[in-house]
Amino acid sequence: MKISFSNSGLFAFFLRPIKSNSLKTLLIILIVWLPIVVGAFLMKGEHTTLSIVNDFEFHIRFLILIPLVILMEKKVDQPFNDFLIQTKGIILKDEANRFQKVINNIAYITKYNVAELLYFALFYSLLFLYWEDVVTSSNKEYFFDIGTKDLNSIGWYYLLVSLPFFQLLIFRWVFRWVIWVWMLYRVSTLKLNIDPVHADGMGGLEYINLIPFLFSFLSFLISSIIATHMGSDIVFGAEKLKALSIQIIFFTIFFPLLNYLPLLFFVRKMFKAKTEGILMFGRLIREHNTDYFSKWIYKRDDKDTLLGSVDNSSLADINGSYAMNQSLRLFPINSNFFLITVVVSAFPYFPLLLTQYSIIDLFKQLVVHFIS
């Protein structure tokens, strides 16, 4: 049974007749971005036109992030199904039925639109409860009638249509991550064939790093939203980049950590596999060494030759297996994948440097530091 996230939910249901990602992107932009831009230009007042032109936070969300999300929609299904196939291979036979139930539950959850319906119910409920806070905290002048905090038609459209649709796209990725975390926890409770001498040094579990690596895109999305908001505060507000540096460092590290944290579900099984390997290979090496010394050291026949002996080869093999067991990691996290995720999470913050320095200034600083 194949799991499909991209073909599930309200979003996929309404866009199913459209096969081209380009057409899907264009249609979404026509719905969530174009009416606001056209409305801002048609409104009387120069401040409205200037505000919409200068609002790079709004344009980045709807003209850059939405196309990226649409592009990545189909990328999640195949790695997730590959993960299920690989996981099925390390589960003991008497646990096959329990694992199949996990897959059936995921298929059921993703098939129906309950999660996205709950999202819309939650979004509009929170919007209603915190309406005054949402409206008064907005710094977008073109959402309001001139000189007031009364929403105009643009502001209403943004809050009721554009914003919930954009956040729905983010929610779909968060929902997938939650499903994966839940499934990973369920798998960690099953009986697994952890190989203590597997070449990956993780008992054959290195492949589980591929899913959080895929969700690096989610870290990128959230960092992009935060970075555009910070950029708006720096350019149009009184914020300074240096004052935000601690927050940037925190978010850059926090989201990758949160992404890979579920892999720690397997620490207990890794510890068990390693301790059992120490006992098993320790006993095997001790028995082998006893026989080896008895034959070659204490009771050696002069006619036997040590060179090229099978005994020496087996001694090296067994000692090598024990060394591999010793190098088995308790934390099945690929550090290279994790560092790449950190870089991906940090990438949206780099353009903020341009709020303090021009590209020419940054290049000059690089040259000076290089030659000095």
pLDDT digits 0-9 by tens, 240-249:
888 899 999 9
Instruction: Tell me what pLDDT residue 148 has.
Output: 74
Q: How many Å apart are CA 225 and CA 170, to the nearest integer? A: 10
Token pair recorded at residue 20: 């081209």
Q: How many Å apart are CA 80 and CA 210, to the nearest integer? A: 9
In this prediction, residues 190-211 reach a mean pLDDT of: 88
Which of the residue ranges 247-261, 287-301, 309-323 would you say has the lowest mean pLDDT?
309-323
User: How does pLDDT run across 265-285, given as a tens digit for each residue?
Assistant: 999 999 998 888 888 877 877
User: Above 70 in pLDDT, residue 359?
Assistant: no
Work out the angle between the directed axes of helices 245-260 and 335-346 (0-180°, nearest 10).
Answer: 140
As a dihedral over the C-alpha atoms of residue 177, residue 179, residue 180, residue 186, rounded to 10 degrees, the angle is 150
User: Above 80 in pLDDT, residue 219?
Assistant: yes
How sure is the predictor about 1, in pLDDT bands with cuts at 50, 70 and 90?
low
Report the share of the chain in percent with pLDDT over 90: 39
Listed ranges 40-44, 45-49, 314-318, 362-366; the one with the highest mean pLDDT: 40-44
Q: Is 223 exposed, middle or buried (0-12, 13-18, 19+ CB in 10 A)?
A: buried
User: Above 50 in pLDDT, residue 306?
Assistant: no
User: Above 60 in pLDDT, residue 145?
Assistant: yes
Instruction: Tell me what pLDDT residue 178 has.
Output: 92
In this prediction, residues 187-194 reach a mean pLDDT of: 91
How sure is the predictor about 370, in pLDDT bands with cuts at 50, 70 and 90?
low
User: How does pLDDT run across 90-140, given as a tens digit for each residue?
Assistant: 999 888 899 999 888 888 888 776 888 899 999 999 999 988 888 877 777
User: Above 50 in pLDDT, residue 307?
Assistant: no
In this prediction, residues 4-17 reach a mean pLDDT of: 78
What pTM value is reported for the model?
0.84
Q: What rounded mean pLDDT belongs to the chain?
A: 84
Question: Taking a C-beta distance cutoff of 8 angstroms, is the pair 174, 218 a contact?
Answer: yes
User: Above 80 in pLDDT, residue 163?
Assistant: yes
Instruction: Tell me what pLDDT residue 140 has.
Output: 77
